[in-house]
Amino acid sequence: MMSELDRLREKIDDIDLKIVELLNKRTKIVLEVGKTKLDKRLKIHSPERERAILRRLREHNPGPFPNEPLKLIYEEIISASLALQQPLKVAYLGPSATFTHLAARRQFGSSTNYLPESTIKEVFEAVSRDKSVYGVVPIENSTEGVVNYTLDMFIDSDLNIAFEIMMPIIHNLLSRTGNISDVKKIYSHAQAKAQCRGWLDRNLPGVPVIEELSTAAAAKRAVKDTSAAAVASELAASEYNLQFIERGIEDNKNNYTRFLVIAKDSPGKTGSDKTSIMFSIKDEPGSLYSILRSFARHKINLSKIESRPSRRKAWEYIFFVDMEGHMEDKGIKKAVNEVMKDCLFLKVLGSYPSAE
């Protein structure tokens, strides 16, 4: 006789087959959409449509299946569907298995064609020269602050911000053996080292930490030496076949890095957007106050302001500002037009969906 457990498993098997059938029906329609877009010379990738799909699924999910895994599943479905229509190329700050690589995979899924670049400048160049459609670069960490080189690249670049990715950064101590007693030296990126300093001092006092260009480069070094460990991502453990000595060794468990996705175009309005601009002002009393007052008058919430030397003239600064809303919003449009009159120059870097 069939047991109750067997009957339940049979039901699951039937549902799984129906899910596969429906996925293939969905894919056939997706391919028709792709053909229609190509006939009309429209872009295959539509971030606004993706955002709307994920939002609708979240709003209509009655449970008990949780929303976050549902989102991850559909991001992979969308990634695979895009790959069938037209392979999507995304450049990122490499090498493989860096946190930037992990952020890119979270945004675009595993079916995307990823191109590792050695520097942030090369990521910008890959997008500018149509080697890739998008580029992914780090912009700031909640513990260690802004990545100045990324800000500097926007000064001379015509690329736009298309998305932002907010990702929790979980550092792990990895080695070939997985035994902490074998560790005589540690390889780490400078920022990862700073974010794990307390744990390393408590658990491996006196063990030298050797800086590498990336967490992935640190993992590569550890592969070749059984007496070495690396501070790196979970993806690096899988990529380089390393064992976990300890997971989650970051000192601040609310450790996030914000990444920017750059492209030649900005996506359309989604209803939950952010706009970034950069500007330079006259070196005179009250000039910055005048700019900020205009945004306050139009009730624009500025979520970030950062300054960098312009590199064109001594003591001249360029300000980078993030604000809530889209350039199509009346308030933002009026405020930007107002402050433009008081700026030596002003550039809109893009309006894009806010990271959830």
Question: 276 and 347 share a domain?
Answer: yes
- Cβ–Cβ under 8 Å, residues 325 and 300: yes
Encode pLDDT of 292-323 as tens digits: 888 999 999 999 888 887 766 655 678 899 99
| Catalytic member of 98, 100, 215, 257 | 257
Percent of the chain with pLDDT over 90: 47
The answer to whether position 251 is within a domain reads no
The answer to whether position 79 is within a domain reads yes
Question: 99 and 136 share a domain?
Answer: yes
CATH number of residue 311's parent domain: 3.30.70.260
Question: 179 and 165 share a domain?
Answer: no
Encode pLDDT of 41-78 as tens digits: 777 777 778 888 988 999 999 989 999 899 889 988 98
Helix axes 47-59, 67-85, angle to 10 degrees: 150
Domain count for the chain: 4
Which residue do the tokens 């999910």 mark?
A: 61
Residue 127 φ then ψ, to 5° = -75, -45
Question: 165 and 176 share a domain?
Answer: no
| Catalytic member of 99, 259, 279, 320 | 259
* Whole-structure pTM value: 0.79
- Identify whether 244 is a catalytic site residue: no
Question: 80 and 101 share a domain?
Answer: no
Residue 212 φ then ψ, to 5° = -120, 170
CATH number of residue 61's parent domain: 1.20.59.10
Boundaries of domain holding 343: 267-353
- Identify whether 259 is a catalytic site residue: yes
The answer to whether position 164 is within a domain reads yes
Distance CA 74, CA 67 (A): 11
Q: Dihedral angle at the C-alpha atoms of 91, 102, 265, 270, nearest 10 degrees?
A: 170
CATH number of residue 242's parent domain: 3.40.190.10
